Amino acid sequence: MARSEKVLLDVRNLKQHFKSGRGKNKMVVKAVDGISFQIHEGEVFGLVGESGCGKTTTGRSIIRLYDPTDGDVLFRGQRIGGGTEAFELDLKELKKSLKTVQDKDSDEANQYKEKISELRVLIGEIKKDNAYKGETVETLKKIQMIFQDPISSLNPRMTVREIIAEGLIIGGEKDNKVIDEKVFDILKIVGLQPEHAHRYPHEFSGGQRQRIGVARALIVEPELLIADEPISALDVSIQAQVINLLRDLQAKLNLTILFIAHDLSVVKYFSDRIAVMYFGHIVEVAESDLLFKNPLHPYTRSLLSAIPLPDPDYERTRIRFDYDPRTHQYGPDNMPEFIEIEKGHFVLASPKEIAEYEEMIKENKKA
């Protein structure tokens, strides 16, 4: 697999909070709470975690199905999504402080005013980048997504040609001949027949429907494909078809893929690097072989120990252990940070734990 160190997607301290209710009932769900990672060009980046940990939300925030609360998403260095909440809170504070200043012309007041105008410019820039026009839209086209459920993600009233061509038409393609040609080509690439273009989704089997979803994503020639649990709704043998297809396409078209899944053996098989997510945080990122050989964070180890593998010898010796977040004893003086503990191996750890993990790495190297 072609690998390069060139960063394609850079996610910096991304936060995605959902708010509901008002006043007393106000609730904030911190689905994604400050995650950072980079995806390199041409690699498959796996994102695993249990349900409800925010992995799907991450994918959806990157492709801007949600507007991020805070943090930045950069594609080839260009911001395609950013959150303004932290800045807006700062702005409020500054305005309050300005009000308390008696003398409106004093140095203090002027300083505040300057800061406020700086922040306003910053927020304006982010909002401009967030708007669906100009360069942002052009760049967002290069990111496409395939969804978990091939039945509900295809419109039952549209033919396959209409479904696949929709992206092209929205992109401004008007010539029917060109559209037909492209649709037929892409159908062949994903392993369907050109005749299938005039059928409806219900006429296909589960695996074929997922192929239609892949074709729809690929027709606009994306550089980054976000695959959100593309195989969990499928039968075992069909899962293999879809994984093989994605792997072939990845090699043929030099795609970069963000692969979101909860099945660890599939993720291990498919990904170059893997990030493990737990309750809105990424706890560990490493190359897939390294992560499986040398997991550091207790949650990663617990997750690895929970997965049954089709191998009775292994199953007889497997001992599962539970992860208890309280064991970290994080406090104000023992805050975890996301650090690179060895080359290409990132882990969320407090200063105390860093020492522990370094010890573990040394021991593993000896063994």
Partner 1 sequence: MAERKKILEINDLRISFRTQQGELHALRGVNIDLYKDEIQAIVYQSGSGQSVTSRAIIGILAKNSIHDGGTINYYDEEALVSKDAQYIDLMQIEEEDFHKLRGTKISMIFQDPMSSLNPIMKVGTQISEALFLKMGMTRAEAKERTLELMKEVGIPEAEKRYYQYPFQFSGGMRQRIVIAIALANDAEILICDEPTTALDVTIQAQILELINRIKKERNLTIIFITHDLGVVANMAERVAVMYAGQIIEYGNVDEIYYDPRHPYTWALLSAMPDLETDEKLFAIPGTPPDLHFPPAGDAFAPRNHYAMEIDFEEEPPMFQISETHFAKTWLEHEFAPQVEKPSAVVRRMERHIKVMEAK
* Residue ranges in contact with partner 1 by CB under 8 A: 50-51, 205, 235-241, 243-244, 247, 262, 264-266, 268-270, 292, 302-303, 306-315, 318, 320, 322-323
> How near is the Cβ of 65 to partner 1 at its closest, in Å?
23
CA distance 44 to 1: 9
Q: How far apart are CA 228 and CA 324, in angstroms?
A: 27
In the complex, least distance from residue 163 CB atom to partner 1, rounded to whole angstroms: 22
Question: Could you count the other beta carbons within 10 Å of the beta carbon of residue 239?
Answer: 19
- Please say which residue, 8 or 238, places its beta carbon nearer to partner 1: 238
d(CA 279, CA 277): 7
**Residue placing its CB nearer to partner 1 in the complex, 128 or 188:** 188
Closest approach of Cβ 49 to partner 1, in Å?
A: 10
Tell me how far, at minimum, the Cβ of 358 lies from partner 1, in Å.
26
How far, in Å, are 31, 210, 272 from residue 147 at the CA level?
A: 19, 8, 21
* CB-based burial, 197-214: b 16+ in 10 Å, e otherwise: bebebeebebbbbbbbbb
Nearer residue to partner 1 within complex by CB, 169 or 307:
307
| Nearest-10 crossing angle of helices 176-189, 160-170 | 120
Find the length of the chain: 367
Q: Min. distance of Cβ 206 from partner 1 in angstroms?
A: 9
Q: Which is nearer to partner 1, 243 or 354 (CB)?
A: 243
The 8-class DSSP code of residue 334 comes to B
The packing angle between helices 160-170 and 206-218, to 10°, is 20
Looking at beta carbons only, is 103 or 313 nearer to partner 1? 313
Residue closer to partner 1 by CB (options 310, 331) is 310
Q: For partner 1, give the closer residue by CB, 100 or 317.
A: 317
Hey, what are 65's tokens? 């199905």
Strand partners, 73: 11, 81
How near is the Cβ of 241 to partner 1 at its closest, in Å? 4
CB closer to partner 1, 307 vs 355: 307
CA distances from 123 to 81, 96, 117, 129, 247 (A): 12, 18, 10, 10, 40
Shortest reach from residue 269's CB to partner 1, in Å: 4
In the complex, the smallest distance separating the C-beta of residue 265 from partner 1, rounded to whole angstroms, is: 5
Is residue 219 within 8 A of residue 164, CB to CB? The reply is yes
CB nearer partner 1, residue 109 or residue 304: 304
Torsion sign across C-alpha atoms 343, 349, 352, 353: negative
Three-state SS letters, 44-100: EEEEECCCCCCHHHHHHHHCCCCCCCEEEEEECCEEEEECCHHHHHHHHHHHHHHHH
Q: Give the shortest CB-270-to-partner 1 separation in angstroms.
A: 8
